Amino acid sequence: MLELFSPTFQAESLNGISIERLVRDGIRGLIIDLDNTMTPWNDPEISPGVQKWFAELQAAGIQSCVVSNNKHRGRVAVVAEKLGIPFVFRATKPRGRAFRTGMKIMQTGPKDTAVIGDQLFTDILGGNRLNLYTILVVPISKHEFVGTRFLRWMEKILIWLIKHFAPAKNIALKRPD
């Protein structure tokens, strides 16, 4: 069961994810979380580094789709439109429906789609349940939704369990204190 919470690999940020590695691993589409993955929580500003990464992603022929649990369409749309990519809001991750919707939009499938997000209980669990390639990033900011703060406490326990009882993927999960 712990393997459902174990990402394929972990990166410090979107900028730390090698586009060359994604291409080499056969990834044609990315389902990407919004808050604390692409931008700080509830912030519409996209950093120049993230904008550059998305431009390089597009140049490599990899599609992307924002899939966010955010309930406010406008919040998700403003960031997605700045990058010129589609989006799904009210995703109810880790449920599979929104992940499948993202793949349908991009015309990709489980073998060529990756999920990138900052939470084990939504992004990684949801992606792994559909046998997708999953990438965990460190949250951009400590400022986040109150419910997410509770999940972060539970994630610390889960990360300890994964490190000690599910070493199969042999990754060094870490979270900022």
Is the pLDDT at 143 greater than 80? The verdict is no
The architecture CATH gives domain 2-169:
3-Layer(aba) Sandwich (3.40)
Alpha helices in 25-134 (DSSP H): 48-59, 73-83, 96-106, 125-129
**How far out from the chain centre does Cα 57 lie?**
15
Report residue 163's pLDDT band, with 50, 70 and 90 as the boundaries.
Answer: confident
* pLDDT at residue 170, rounded to an integer: 42
Is the pLDDT at 169 greater than 60? The verdict is no
* pLDDT at residue 175, rounded to an integer: 44
Mapping DSSP to helix (H, G, I), strand (E, B) and coil, where does residue 10 land?
A: strand
pTM for the full predicted model: 0.85
- HSE of 121, CA atoms in CB hemisphere, 13 A: 13
* pLDDT at residue 172, rounded to an integer: 47
Using CA atoms in the order 163, 96, 108, 128, what is the torsion angle rounded to 10 degrees?
10
pLDDT tens profile 45-98: 999 999 999 999 999 999 999 999 999 999 999 999 999 999 999 999 999 999
Report residue 144's pLDDT band, with 50, 70 and 90 as the boundaries.
Answer: low
How high is the mean pLDDT of the chain? Answer: 88
Report residue 165's pLDDT band, with 50, 70 and 90 as the boundaries.
Answer: confident
pLDDT tens profile 97-116: 999 999 999 999 999 999 99
Dump the DSSP string for 139-174. -S-S---HHHHHHHHHHHHHHHHHHHH-GGG-----
Distance CA 61, CA 73 (A): 27
